[in-house]
Structure 1
Amino acid sequence: MTQPSPHPKQHTVRVWDLPVRLFHWALAACVIALVVTAKVGGNAMEWHFRLGYVVLALLVFRVLWGLVGGRWSRFATFIYSPARLVRYLRGAAHADDGVGHSPLGALSVFGLLAVLVAQVATGLLSDDEIAFAGPLTRFVSNAVVGQATSYHKEIGQYLVIGLVVLHLLAIVFYVAVRRQRLVGPMVHGDKVLPAPAAPSRDDWASRALALALLAGSAALAWWVSTLAGAPSF
């Protein structure tokens, strides 16, 4: 009788392509800097605006890359049904749940992206009535500006901070309790899996496409920044 191997074969798979990895770390750095500049205030608000435009460009890029990027970067691979989420929470995970974003991780990603989109959008519509106003304030009523400003400074700010903290705690939980390596793969792109899985495309052609999409996203953000003569990057 053949004895099972004490060391099951492991499979190294490219899960996170370079564009999504760069997006992840750039977004993390920008969000931290946005929180800091908002708290400091004063002249730091000029950098707050500039960073806001950078985040706008990054978010537009991520939406586009979620449609045409590497396999595990595409939204289609981590949009799960409620039943799939329930099975995952009950411990009956699907084989693919451990490759890219898990059902629970996908909720975290979509939640954070949605909150950041709302925060950037309301920032573009905000006015502190002192020295800084978003470039889109002249296109809406004073009532809308007031509501956007209130959300941006209060609810939105704390939602972003709360979800970021929750995201970090989830990473700590998965690393410390479930013994899953999450940070390393987001640095070098590869995951070591117990079974084969389709890799993400991550060649020079796909990276060139990502660069073109990022350039277009940056151009859009720059154009938005010029609409009311706001500080641009």
Structure 2
Amino acid sequence: MNAVRIWDLPTRLFHWALAACVIALVATAKIGGDAMNWHFRLGYAVFTLLLFRLLWGLVGGHWSRFASFLPTPGRLARYLGGRATAADTAGHSPLGALSVLTMLTVLSLQVATGLFTDDEIAFAGPLTALVPGSVVSTATTWHKSWGQYLVLGLVLLHVLAIIAYRLRQQDLVTPMVRGDKQLAAAVQATRDNAGTRLLALGLLAACAGVVYWVVQLGQQPMLG
């Protein structure tokens, strides 16, 4: 068995930051009241993280790139048929990739609808003034019902999958903390050095700037 760097530091920090933000988002939504101010801030943080992950999936370390773990029919067939190669499972397995991509998609939709929600009491998303009331109503309904339930369901499935793999003597948590996996077969190690970390920091700052700009769009005075 050889220790191979699979998860670069930016990917690991993204993973744990996103997990913490999602938990806090659920908690602040349930608490309500003044906690909703933090709910919005956390939503902007998740927006930033999701934008970063999109870019990092294109230019990040090898096993963080979407191309390395997209669950193609071939990869799924090999995995489900017990014929998976080392490259199929070194990073996200094909089923794990489906889970990751679904979670990112659902969270993106939840963030997007959150920008247009209105509780008709005290809190409204920053972009509600830019769209018709019907859009606000639809976004609010999705965000507070189906979107919320999907996020909670996917989080539960994620935790259950971690437990199931652990029972099969496969530890998914430690590699996401330390970055390395113990592998029998030789696979390409991911790039994880000072240069890639500086690149990730720059991308994160750029994503934060984009999120700030989007949020400020709703604060602009309407013309005409």
Q: TM-score range by the shorter chain?
A: over 0.9
Do structure 1's residue 201 and structure 2's residue 187 form an aligned pair? no
User: What is the DSSP-based 3-state SS (H/G/I as helix, E as strand, rest coil) of the residue aligned with 1:16?
Assistant: coil
Match of 2:211 among 199, 221, 226: 221
Secondary structure at the aligned position of 2:3 is classed as strand
TM-score, with structure 1 as normaliser: 0.92
> 2:8 corresponds to which residue?
17
Q: How does 1:84-233 map to 2 (within 5 A)?
A: 84-176=75-167, 178-229=168-219
* Aligned structure 1 segments of 4 or more residues deviating by more than 3 angstroms: none
Q: What is the aligned partner in structure 1 of residue 58 from structure 2?
A: 67
Pairs aligned (count):
220
CA distance, structure 2, for counterparts of residue 175 and residue 160 of structure 1? 23
3-state SS in 2 of match to 1:135: coil
User: Does the Cα contact within 8 Å between 2:130 and 2:218 map onto a contact in 1?
Assistant: no
SS at match of 2:205: helix
Query: SS in structure 2 opposite 1:226?
Result: helix
**Whole-Å separation in 2 of the counterparts to 1:203 and 1:27:** 22
Structure showing greater Rg? 1
CA distances 1:30-82 after superposition (whole Å, capped 9, x unpaired): 00000000001111000000000000000000000000000000000011222
Distance 2:131 2:119 in 1: 15
Deviation at 1:188, TM superposition (A): 0.7
Ranges in structure 2 where 5+ consecutive residues have no aligned partner: none
C-alpha distance in 2 between matches for 1:15 and 1:59: 20
Q: Alpha carbon RMSD of aligned pairs, Å?
A: 1.2
The 3-state SS of whatever aligns with 2:173 is coil
Relative to the length of structure 2, the TM-score reads 0.95
Identity of aligned residues (%): 63
- For structure 1, the residue ranges without an aligned partner over 5 or more in a row are 1-9
Q: Which moved more, 1:83-92 or 1:158-167?
A: 83-92
Matches within 5 A, 1:13-92: 13-92=4-83
SS at match of 2:189: coil
Q: Which has the higher helix share?
A: 2
- d(CA) in 2 for partners of 1:152, 1:98: 34
